[in-house]
Amino acid sequence: MSAVAVSIGRVSGAMGVQAGGVTNVPGSAEGGASLLPSPAEIGGDAMLGMYALMAADRQAGKTSAFARAAASQRERKAAIAEELKRLQEAAKARDSGGFWGGLKKACSTLAKAGLVVAAVGSTVVSGGLTGPLAAVAIAGVALSAGAFLQGETKILQELGVSDKVAGWIETGMSLGASACMVVTTCGAGAASGAGAEALGQSAAAKGASAAGRAASNAAGALGNAVGGGAGVAGATAAVGQGASASSAVQVTARLAASVGGVGTMAGGVCAIQESRYEARATELTADAESAHLASERLARMLQRLLDDLESDDGSAERAMGSLKEAIGIRGNSLMAASAVRV
């Protein structure tokens, strides 16, 4: 997946820490360094390319200004008119065929499907959106859109999330991610009881403040303890049937069911293991059942969010409008630069 690889690369490589950012940086109120990276360097970045073009225009302006000083009034007007024409053509060319042109085209495609609904819809169409991390994207995007549409307090209240338990996305979705990890890594065979115990202890050590993550680790441990190809294959099938799912919620629900299934099966397997593992197995089963409940709750939350957003697709329109405006700002800046010279 090239887009993913490039994106991660940008995060780890091209994002230098900006010093001294004050107003528009995450968490900068305490005076810490800016976290929000600037767009990438020239060649891969639209805005810097735009600025470079403007700088080149300014240089051209100096030359043309010298020429104008020596020219007649008529020639001067003609030169300005020609220069403006060239600028307009350059802007038009970039808009239609260049970097921003590609953006427009892609955004148009995305707009047809709708912003949030696009993610869900593409799942149905392509069957591609089957991973829990893609569900994170849907949940996050849906929550964000809902918050701007309905307000933070209302959306959180509707979801049943208090300020003390905020964090349902990473809690619930790390559970799903862990389940996926089990699905993708445990097909080969059984892990030892000792290994499961070690994982369980690791999960327990996370403590109450990371209950969701601990539960997900416990679920992973159980998956390892089971290690049965049938169970894993069943989970894989459940996750992999995105094409027949009507929404990502169903995928999430299936994941939840998978986790629950793994937990149930693990309980049975662990019960016949040596006695020194029995107490641990009981504990892990309880953890897995808790994780199953958490995942079900998450699926309900996500369903509610998507139901709300489905009836109000203004978010997609807003994104498209904002993008068009940003592109327009770039064009206007070019025109303004030329107007200053005139």
Partner 1 sequence: MNPLQPAVETGAEVVEAIYAAGHLLHARERWADAAAVYRLMLTASPTDERGWLALGDCHQKAGQALIALEMYGAGTVAAAPAARCRLARVRLLRELGRDDEADAWWDELLEIAEQSDDETTRGLVAAESECVS
Residues within window 267-286 making contact with partner 1, judged by CB under 8 A: none
Among 53, 139, 265, 301, binds partner 1 (CB under 8 A): 139
Instruction: Give, in order, the Cα–Cα distances in Å from 134 to each of 176, 177, 193, 251.
Output: 11, 10, 32, 10
Residue 177 in contact with partner 1, rule: CB under 8 A: yes
Residue 67 in contact with partner 1, rule: CB under 8 A: no
CB of 44 to partner 1, least distance (A): 6
DSSP letter assigned to residue 98? S
CB of 313 to partner 1, least distance (A): 12
DSSP letter assigned to residue 11? I
Phi, psi angles (nearest 5°) of residue 23: -90, -35
Instruction: Give, in order, the Cα–Cα distances in Å from 243 to each of 144, 222, 247, 248.
Output: 26, 28, 9, 10
* Binding pattern for the stretch 4-43 against partner 1, x by CB under 8 A and - elsewhere: x-xxx-xxxx-xxx-----xxxxxxxxxxx-xxxxxx---
Residue 337 in contact with partner 1, rule: CB under 8 A: no
Q: From CA 261, how far away is CA 249, in angstroms rounded? A: 18
Q: Which is nearer to partner 1, 47 or 191 (CB)?
A: 47
Residue 300 in contact with partner 1, rule: CB under 8 A: no
Q: Which is nearer to partner 1, 281 or 294 (CB)?
A: 294
Among 59, 96, 108, 184, binds partner 1 (CB under 8 A): 184
CB of 66 to partner 1, least distance (A): 33
Stretch 75-104 residues interacting with partner 1 (CB under 8 A): 99-100, 102-103
Q: From CA 62, how far away is CA 43, in angstroms rounded? A: 25
